[in-house]
């Protein structure tokens, strides 16, 4: 089952850091793809590629695709679309159904104001609480609920380094 994250509404002049963090959360919380919709911001893409080079993993990264067309194609291929928004249904009401469907999942997160079309086209509009916070936190909580916490123990292929958890201090092992 593919789990991809689509970041829409990225504004290059102010969102580089937060969009990079959306990509980092996608990777670290178990997604297999990160799509930056409608714009190709090389700063964001290069930062994420560097993390993959060092820390491993096979997450696919795409930028500049048309978001709505991507969603339409995703659905045509049998996948489902989950839009994270504070206006949606509480995550606990829907996450079991989403997990059990076994369909590929495209998780959409916005920036400022998300156009109404995204609410209509999504199979699920899901809230992580009904207070405004951030695409980074919303994505992390959603993926953690989807994977029931198991994603935190995933190991990453082709990593150059790996952390050995310590009671105190830092231990990092070079793998080759």
Residues that bind ligand SAM (CB under 6 A): 84-87, 109-111, 114, 127-129, 131-135, 138
* Contact by Cβ (8 Å): 105, 87: no
Nearer to ligand SAM (CB atom), residue 104 or residue 135: 135
Nearer to ligand SAM (CB atom), residue 39 or residue 138: 138
- How far apart (Å, rounded) are the C-alpha atoms in residues 161 and 102? 32
Minimum distance of ligand SAM from residue 16's CB (angstroms): 15
Question: Who contacts 107 (Cβ-Cβ below 8 Å, separation ≥6)?
Answer: 3, 4, 5, 6, 31, 82, 83, 84, 139, 142, 143
Nearer to ligand SAM (CB atom), residue 47 or residue 137: 137
Q: Which two tokens stand for residue 15?
A: 């969102």
Q: Which residue is nearest to ligand SAM (CB)?
A: 110
Minimum distance of ligand SAM from residue 110's CB (angstroms): 3
Minimum distance of ligand SAM from residue 159's CB (angstroms): 29
Nearer to ligand SAM (CB atom), residue 6 or residue 48: 6
Minimum distance of ligand SAM from residue 170's CB (angstroms): 32
- How far apart (Å, rounded) are the C-alpha atoms in residues 155 and 84? 27
Minimum distance of ligand SAM from residue 138's CB (angstroms): 3
Nearer to ligand SAM (CB atom), residue 56 or residue 84: 84
């Amino acid at each position: 089952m593919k789990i991809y994250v689509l970041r829409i509404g990225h504004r290059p002049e102010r969102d580089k850091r937060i969009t990079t963090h959306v990509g980092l959360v996608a990777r670290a919380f178990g997604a297999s793809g990160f799509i930056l919709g409608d714009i190709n911001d090389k700063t964001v893409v290069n930062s994420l590629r560097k993390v993959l080079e060092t820390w491993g993993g096979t997450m696919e990264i795409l930028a500049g695709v048309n978001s709505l067309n991507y969603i339409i194609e995703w659905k045509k291929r049998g996948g489902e679309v989950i839009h994270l928004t504070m206006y949606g249904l509480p995550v606990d009401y829907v996450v079991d159904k989403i997990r059990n469907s076994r369909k590929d999942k495209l998780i959409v997160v916005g920036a400022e104001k998300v156009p109404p079309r995204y609410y209509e086209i999504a199979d699920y509009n899901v809230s992580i609480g009904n207070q405004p916070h951030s695409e980074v936190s919303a994505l992390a909580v959603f993926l953690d609920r989807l994977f029931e916490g198991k994603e935190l123990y995933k190991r990453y292929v082709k990593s150059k380094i790996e952390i050995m958890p310590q009671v105190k201090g830092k231990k990092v092992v070079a793998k080759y």
